[in-house]
Structure 1
Amino acid sequence: MDAPGASHALVERAVSLLDRPGRVVLGITGPPGAGKSTLTTQLLAGLRSELGEEVVAHLPMDGFHLADVQLDRLGLRDRKGAPQTFDVDGYVAALQRLHDEPDRTLYSPGFERDLEQPIAAAIAIPASARLVVTEGNYLLLPGGGWERVRPRLAETWFVQVDDDVRRARLVRRHEEFGKSPEAARAWVEEVDQPNAHLITSTRDSADVVVDLESLGG
């Protein structure tokens, strides 16, 4: 289902998931630079305004990046951001705990962009949170352990944007975090683009496809 309409419609669709019993987890996915974080921020604001702060929570997949010390040990430092550079088992376990232990606070790692490192227990999801939005690249991936993610989500929304816009955003992002323009462009082509192709191949498995250009984002 394509969803080019106003963000209010997306908020209402997310709210409607609460018709289901128990805690509900909504997944936001898409390739690097597509605007997942932008959509998630806007969606969370709308949901909190409508439902209340205590009812809505955010569990980003980024906190499950492997630390650089582990990437060095595995020889994967130059592939950082690829599926195998995340703790997929830890992420799946956190999603399962959201369902199995709804009366307990879930402490989850966050990701510090300035350090480019995960931070343990940086996020607390309270028992009052009935709707949890989780966001990340590989929520629909059919292998490598990621196939265990989708069954734990009520719905998964795929975010897309024009590819030239997306790649330009990525270059700017890498430059902002210290790469030279040449190194930023090389990283986009050699690391981000193969990941993007892999993620885009999962698009048809999504419940909703959100075109951010149509939303003005």
Structure 2
Amino acid sequence: MRSLDRTAAFARAAELATLATSTRRAILGITGAPAAGKSTYAEELAAGLTTSGHRVALVPMDGYHLAQSALEELGIADVKGAPHTFDGAGYAALLRRLRDRTGETVWAPRFHRELEDSIAAAIGVGPEIDLVLTEGNYLLLDQEPWATARGSVDEIWYLELDDDTRHARLTARHQHFGRSAQEAHDRTFGSDERNAQLIAATKHLATATLSL
């Protein structure tokens, strides 16, 4: 498994963009534990590649969270973020559509933390896009439907961050979005940490590791 820094990662992402063909896009996945910095890094990478002239789109996995109302109806809202709280099959189908360039715009949902819900068809990926970046927790999970999703992705990088920093970020995030200090602590070291351990167990399947 390779180890990448920012410079090497940017160069490799740019190389992947050039490998797209008239019928197939390149797809690069970025995974890691909750609050490892996946979203921030993916946004920075997409912006940098676009500035450099590459045709790139960012499509996060989080858009496939089940709706908050559905989670509550199912009785699983307290573990939101676990694998079974996503429409993984829908995400896998989206990646297949993104991979195969058909000349049509593909529309994907976007998750809004302030709403705790996704908005459908909020991200448009036009036929000109060569490289799709996607980031999320379970890109390497070796069970269905995530394994099927992984089959559409050319490379998946595992983003590493020390646990103390990650825990502090998670706790602050939960408080920012309305949880009390105790609720934030319990969520960070409860369901979030169980998810983090599950994700860490998939690290060996990554194409490369990335430390920022």
Structure 2 unaligned spans of 5+: none
Q: Give the secondary-structure state (helix, strand or coil) at the position aligned to 2:111.
A: strand
Structure 1 residue 61, shift from structure 2 partner: 0.4
The residue aligned with 2:165 is 165
Is 1:182 paired with 2:182? Answer: yes
RMSD over aligned CA atoms reads 1.2
Contact 1:36 1:135 in 2 (8 A): yes
Structure 1 residue 79, shift from structure 2 partner: 0.8
Contact 2:43 2:58 in 1 (8 A): no
17-26 vs 164-173, which moves further: 17-26
Q: Give the TM-score taking structure 1 as reference length.
A: 0.92
Q: Give the secondary-structure state (helix, strand or coil) at the position aligned to 2:52.
A: helix
Q: For 1:67-146, what aligned pairs fall within 5 Å after superposition? A: 67-146=67-146
Is 1:39 paired with 2:41? Answer: yes
Structure 1 residue 196, shift from structure 2 partner: 0.1
Deviations 1:97-146 (A, max 9, x none): 11234311011110111111011111111111110000000000001411
Deviations 1:45-79 (A, max 9, x none): 22111124xx1101100100000111122211111
Contact 1:23 1:129 in 2 (8 A): yes
Structure 1 residue 153, shift from structure 2 partner: 0.4
The residue aligned with 1:26 is 28
Structure 1 unaligned spans of 5+: 213-217
Contact 2:63 2:108 in 1 (8 A): yes
Q: Give the TM-score taking structure 2 as reference length.
A: 0.95
Contact 1:23 1:102 in 2 (8 A): no
Q: Percent identity?
A: 45
